Amino acid sequence: MIIVYLLVLLMLAAAIAASVFKDLLSAVIAACLVSLIAAILFYFLQAPDVAMAEASIGAALVTAVFIVAIKRTKRHEE
């Protein structure tokens, strides 16, 4: 049970980091971490279907879309 609380804390930290970082690439990776931990938490909550969708869409595809967008625009936020 303790691992779930640790994961929630890590997820909160990653979410805060995603909104604080000025380097947008790091922010996107932090958001990806949020999705990955959400997928693990869904698995612990006995929802493996949602966990699969979250891991593949939230962590892989959305991150790729954001990285492509950063490549076309600017990497650093003023």
Chain contacts with another protein (rule: CB under 8 A): 48-49, 52-53, 56-57, 60-61, 64-65, 68, 71-72
- Calpha distance 34→22 (Å, rounded): 18
Residues 6+ apart with CB under 8 A from 51: 39, 40, 42, 43
Residue with tokens 């979250």: 54
Q: Which is nearer to another protein, 17 or 55 (CB)?
A: 55
Q: Which is nearer to another protein, 6 or 65 (CB)?
A: 65
Instruction: Quote the least distance from Cβ 51 to another protein, whole Å.
Output: 8
Instruction: Quote the least distance from Cβ 30 to another protein, whole Å.
Output: 19
